[in-house]
Homo-oligomer: A and B are copies of this chain.
Amino acid sequence: MTHLYASTETEIKAQFYDLDPMDIVWHGNYARYFELARCDLLDTIDYSYRGMKESGYAWPIVDMRIRYIKPVIFGQEIIVKADLIEYEFRLKIAYTIFDKKTGHRICKAHTEQVAVDLKTQEMQYASPPILAKKLGIEL
- Pick the contact of A16 from B24, B49, B64 — CB < 8 Å? B49
- Copies of this chain, count: 4
Given contacts A15-B32, A20-B21, A35-B16, contact A27 B61 (CB under 8 A): yes
CB distance from A93 to the nearest CB of B (A): 13
Complex Cα spacing A62 to B108, Å = 11
Are A22 and B74 in contact, CB atoms less than 8 angstroms apart? no
* Number of residues of chain A lying within 8 A (CB) of chain B: 35
Assembly CA distance A39 to B50 (angstroms): 30
Beyond the given A17-B32, A17-B35, A62-B69, could you list 9 further A-B residue pairs with CB under 8 A, ordered by the A residue number? A15-B32, A16-B21, A17-B26, A21-B21, A28-B28, A50-B74, A61-B68, A63-B66, A64-B64
Chain A residues close to B by CB (< 8 Å): 15-17, 19-24, 26-29, 31-32, 35-36, 39, 48-50, 58, 60-69, 71, 74-75
